[in-house]
Amino acid sequence: MSASYTVRTLVSTPGRGVRHRRVRLRVQSLEDRRTPTGAVWQGYAMNAQHTATSAVASQPLSAIRWQASVDLQPQYSGTALLIHYGSPAVTAANTVIVPVKTGATGGFRVNAFDGSTGQPRWSRTTAYQLPPIPGWTPSYGPVLTPAGRYYFPGNGGTVNYIDEPDGTGAVSGQFAFFGLANYAADPTAYNGTVFINTPLTSDAAGNVYFGFRVTGANPLGLTSGLARVAPDGTSTWTPATTLLGNTVATDRVVYNCAPAVSNDGQTLYIAANSGASNFSSAGALVAVDSTTLAVRNRVGLVDPSSGNPA
């Protein structure tokens, strides 16, 4: 689409006086472009510090404006529903992105809605598989970065991302914390042994952190631990044994424990345990460098009711 406009100008020429000149201007529209919006609500407990405090006040809770399912096949145990559901994310343009469990024992997708009307905008099926855990279902926890990129876990320790969540929701790319080329060389080996087991957390710069569980042999010899991936895909990870300072094979980042970032962005906090009964290998809250994941400090966790190691 274009438009033409005629502009009349006055031109002074030596020896010829002042005369009129017509100049035709053409205005032509560029192709439609969308830029990522910021995040109003990133995901688990709102932000990287998990303050769960929104800058936007809620409307009066006197009526349901719209609603959407988060579990298409809920599995009750008596009257209890033993599952943790992932948090929605909300963009500054009021796109609400909701994680949805689609099957009885797994299967997830993310659905986006217009926050004002509840009208669907897009939907993406994921290949994510739940880690093996008996008795209850941990949450599926995507995250929206402050710059507006939406990350959601995939299979085998991979993460997919969408750069235009306010647009069509097309998947923009994928990364693996141990190298996407390594994953592509033998995806089956990782799909059955490597599982993201915490919600994702994004810091102010868009770096994403998460815990992962490894349950068997794999080509790289990965063990359970904590991972960090930068927006350009650069990644690092550290084993849970390093986090706890021991060599217990069952060491792992605690299920459902979203990493938390300090206010200055320099330190990352995570809980890890091994299920053992002695202090050195029981649960601990660990502080690591947010860039290198090098351990800075750790403190053992105890059961407040008994004082025993947790």
Query: Of 12-16, 117-121, 282-286, where does mean pLDDT reach its minimum?
Result: 12-16
Q: Give residue 13's pLDDT band: very low, low, confident or very high (50, 70, 90).
A: low
Return the higher-pLDDT residue of 16 and 73: 73
Structure tokens at 260: 């938390």
Mean pLDDT of all residues in 230-234: 97
Torsion angle of the four alpha carbons 127, 131, 134, 135, in this order, in degrees rounded to the nearest 10? -60
Minimal CA–CA distance to 267: which of 297, 234, 222, 308? 297
Mean pLDDT of all residues in 18-34: 50
Q: Is the pLDDT of residue 210 over 70?
A: yes
Angstrom distance (rounded) from CA 54 to CA 105: 32
Q: Give residue 274's pLDDT band: very low, low, confident or very high (50, 70, 90).
A: confident
Question: In whole numbers, what is the pLDDT of the chain averaged over residues?
Answer: 89
| Residue 167 phi, psi dihedral angles, 5° rounding | -100, -125
Q: Give residue 59's pLDDT band: very low, low, confident or very high (50, 70, 90).
A: confident
pTM: 0.86
C-beta of residue 203 within 8 angstroms of C-beta of residue 48: yes
What digits encode the pLDDT tens for the residues 68-78?
A: 999 999 999 99
Q: CATH number for the 2-50+67-300 domain, one of 1.20.58, 1.10.10, 1.25.40, 2.130.10?
A: 2.130.10
Q: Is the pLDDT of residue 8 over 50?
A: yes
C-beta of residue 260 within 8 angstroms of C-beta of residue 48: yes
pLDDT of residue 22: 59
Minimal CA–CA distance to 89: which of 157, 140, 43, 139? 43
Return the higher-pLDDT residue of 27 and 91: 91
Strand partners, 7: 23
pLDDT of residue 30: 45
Distances (CA, A) of 105 to 76, 101, 141, 265: 12, 9, 16, 36
